[in-house]
Amino acid sequence: MATARERGLHRFTSMTGGLWDLISTQGARSGPESEQVTRAESHRRVVSLPISDTAPANSNTAPAPVLTREAANRFEYVSKVGAGGMGAVHCVRDKNLLREVALKVLAPSLADDPKYVRRFLAEAQIQAQLDHPNIAPVHDLTLDHEGTNYFTMRLVHGRTLADWIAAAHDSWTPSETMHEMLGAFLKVCDAVAFAHSRGVLHLDIKPENIIMEDFGTVYLMDWGLSRLSVRDPERSDTVVLSAEAAGGVVTGVVGSPSYMSPEQAQGADGLVSERTDVFGLGAVLYAILAGRPLYLADSIDEVLEQARVGRMPHLPEAPRGVPLPARICQITRKALAIDPQDRYQTVLELKREVEGFLQGGIAFPMETFAAGERVVIEGEMGDAAYVIVKGTCVAYTTKDGRRSAVCELGTGSAFGEETVFRPGPRSATVEAVTDVSVRLVTREMLDEGLGRDSWFGAFVMALANRLAQAEARPATVSQPDSKPSTGQEARMDGTGLSNGSGLPAAS
């Protein structure tokens, strides 16, 4: 049974820019009409489906609206797609091009308010100039003679990321579902990074505004809260607004409270920047990992208060019994830093981190050693392995104060592998002959990167155990009068070194 707080999850996540502007102190209008709109939208908050142009097509059918004579000459009504605070989206058939499109109409009650007309125009002009595969293209914008404002855009069919997260919540498989969601997330990053390159901030990034179509197409929807960032004088392709639309850009406390950055919730317009969208993307990452929005409460005021503080709730250590990879959790925490200076400074920086997690999932720290410095020491306890990235090392054992060279290790060589799986004393000393750079590998990194629940992680662990058992069997030891040791002899001697020749490395 869901708690009251968990039920609150569905109350505020689908608030669009238009809805929040209508019920906020910044956008509220005085008089009975304002109260009526507020009551209507309060009732709509309990609906789990998005109420903006992010709803799947045909999800909310309704009697055909009365198209104006001018619009009816061009379009044939099909169905209602969704509705929000500023208007509604309908599926219509373009009689000239013989295709279905999404038609977004400004609410008639707002058509005479210059503020909302300007805002509607700004949304259409901004989205129309963002020509990107992950942003739905706008076809045309019309203010007909009967005073109806509408624009048409590509009709997007699919499910929202919010729906996907909800469906996956009870059957979570991190090695598959989470990675698929993160793959879609990277495409959203592409859309946001492109918008930033054109001088546009989205400011309402959330799972409800992300739609996945069949065959992998992903769209970031609902640009109703977008605004222009500081214009780069060196770029000629930044988005511009008409004089009329420029006055419609929204400021103040606007957005979706459950995913708001602290600066948005505080109405600190001077702090709103590209890093605000980084926070929004971090909130999407949080929803993917935790299966719930960033902030939950039983009232809007409570949600806003959490957003103003901006403190990220703890991620569940093992949702549905499966531990979350530490690295993606760290990435999420950094994206959701309270201070914008502590977040990723660009969306592309955040994207690269998530890509690194998906491609290998393993972040091997680099260490450097000067010539003559010892990397590991014989007899000391160890639990990490090393891979030489640059330089040369020599491995040797010591008996009765005398060195006995085992082998020389160059770029690509690895040593200490067995201690990753079975911590224990080092069987040889490895010393840098030249200045050396190495990558450090630990069991924790392998668990995180390979995925303890994945088939590949299980394969690597089985292989390591098999090699460890082979290492424990009696081995032929090289004779005293043999030639200088090779990598193969080094393994037989029990040092567990690999000289980069492709031989198995157990320690």
Q: What is the DSSP letter of 159?
A: E
- Is 80 exceeded by the pLDDT of residue 504? no
Q: Average pLDDT for residues 210-224, to the nearest whole number?
A: 93
Are 322 and 416 members of one domain? no
Higher-confidence residue of 212 and 18: namely 212
- The residue among 207 and 364 whose pLDDT is bigger is 207
44, 88, 103, 139 from 65: Cα distances, Å:
20, 10, 12, 21
Q: For the whole model, what pTM was predicted?
A: 0.66
CA distances, 289 to each of 64, 137, 191, 352 (Å): 40, 30, 21, 18
C-alpha–C-alpha distance, residues 80 and 434, integer Å: 71
Q: What is the pLDDT of residue 409?
A: 94
DSSP assignment of 365-414 equals PEEEE-TT-EEE-TTSEE-EEEEEEES-EEEEEEETTEEEEEEEE-TT-E
Is 419 or 33 the better-scoring residue by pLDDT?
A: 419
CA-to-CA distance for 174 and 162, rounded, in angstroms?
A: 17
Residue 297 within any structural domain of the chain: yes
DSSP secondary structure string for all residues of 79-122: EEEEE-SSEEEEEEEETTTTEEEEEEEE-GGGTT-HHHHHHHHH
Residues whose CB falls within 8 Å of the CB of residue 7, separated by 6 or more in sequence, listed in order: none
Q: What is the DSSP letter of 75?
A: E
Q: Which residues of 432-469 are buried (b: 16+ CB within 10 A; e: fewer)?
A: beeebebbebbbebbbbbbbeebeebeeeeeebeebbe
Give the model's confidence band at 107: pLDDT under 50 very low, under 70 low, under 90 confident, else very high.
confident
> Which pLDDT band holds residue 450 (cuts at 50, 70, 90)?
low
Picking from 265, 258, 337, the residue whose alpha carbon sits closest to that of residue 298 is 258
Report the pLDDT averaged over residues 78-94: 87
Domain that holds residue 380: 372-498
With cut-offs at 50, 70 and 90, classify the pLDDT of residue 479.
very low
Tell me how far apart the alpha carbons of residues 115 and 130 are, in angstroms, rounded to a whole number: 23
What pLDDT sits at residue 170?
Answer: 65
Encoded tokens for 302: 């409570």
End-to-end CA distance of the chain: 50
365 in a structural domain? no
Q: Is 424 helix (H, G, I), strand (E, B) or coil?
A: strand
- 95 lies in some domain: yes
Q: How far apart are CA 341 and CA 263, in angstroms?
A: 12
| 318 and 422 in a common domain | no
Q: In terms of domains, do 344 and 388 share one?
A: no
C-alpha neighbours within 13 Å on the C-beta side of residue 397 = 15
- Beta sheet of 159-160, edge-to-edge order: 159-160, 210-212, 218-220
Residues 130 and 229 in one domain: yes
Q: Which of 359, 388, 411 is the last residue of a domain?
A: 359
Query: How confident is the model at residue 423, as a pLDDT?
Result: 85
Whether residues 331 and 389 share a domain: the answer is: no
> What CATH number corresponds to the domain at position 414?
2.60.120.10
Higher pLDDT, 314 or 502: 314
Structural domain contains residue 505: no
- The torsion region of residue 189 among left (phi > 0), alpha (psi -120 to 50) and beta comes to alpha
User: What element of type H or E holds 185?
Assistant: helix 179-197
Render 13-31 in DSSP notation, one character per residue: TT--HHHHHHHSTTT---S
Q: Report helix, strand or coil for 306.
A: helix
pLDDT at 49 over 50: no
Same domain, 303 and 423: no
How many percent of the chain have pLDDT more than 90? Answer: 43
Evaluate whether residue 274 is within a structural domain. yes
pLDDT tier at 197, thresholds 50, 70, 90 = very high
Average pLDDT over residues 196-205: 95
Do 305 and 413 lie in a common domain?
no
Task: Clarify whether 204 is annotated catalytic.
Answer: yes
Domain end, chosen from 359, 393, 421, is at: 359
444 and 341 part of one domain: no
Residue 40 vs residue 139, higher pLDDT = 139
Q: Provide the angle, in degrees to the nearest 10, between the axes of the packed helices 179-197 and 274-290.
A: 170
What's the residue count for the chain?
Answer: 507
Pairwise pLDDT comparison (322 vs 353), residue with the higher score: 353
Asked if 410 and 273 sit in the same domain, the reply is no
Query: Domain boundary at 359, 388, 418, which?
Result: 359
Separate counts of helices (H) and strands (E) for the chain = 18, 21
What average pLDDT does this structure show over 172-176? 57
Q: State how far the Cα of 58 lies from the Cα of 404, in Å rounded to an integer.
A: 77
Report which of residues 349 and 41 the model is more confident about.
349
Is residue 347 located within the same domain as residue 409?
no
pLDDT of residue 420: 80
Residue 40 counted as domain residue: yes
Report the number of distinct structural domains present in the chain: 2
CA R_g for the chain: 29
Among 184, 226, 219, 189, smallest CA distance to 204 is for 226
Q: Is residue 293 part of a domain?
A: yes
Q: Exactly one of 21, 53, 190, 204 is catalytic; which is it?
A: 204
The CATH number of residue 75's host domain is 1.10.510.10
- 390 occurs within a structural domain: yes
> What is the rounded average pLDDT for all residues in the chain?
77
Ranges of beta strands (E only) in 134-236 are 138-143, 149-154, 159-160, 200-201, 210-212, 218-220, 227-228
Other Cβ atoms less than 10 A from the Cβ of 481: the count is: 5
Whether residue 423 sits in one domain with residue 399: yes
**pLDDT band at residue 451 using 50, 70 and 90 as cut-offs:** low
Q: According to the model, what pLDDT value does residue 487 have? A: 41
For 19-48, how does the pLDDT look when each residue is reduced to its tens digit (9 = 90+)?
A: 333 333 233 333 333 322 222 233 223 222
Please enumerate in sequence order all residues whose Cβ is within 8 A of that of 84, keeping only pairs 6 or more positions apart, or say none: 16, 18, 19, 51, 52, 53, 224
| Same domain, yes or no: 291 and 423 | no
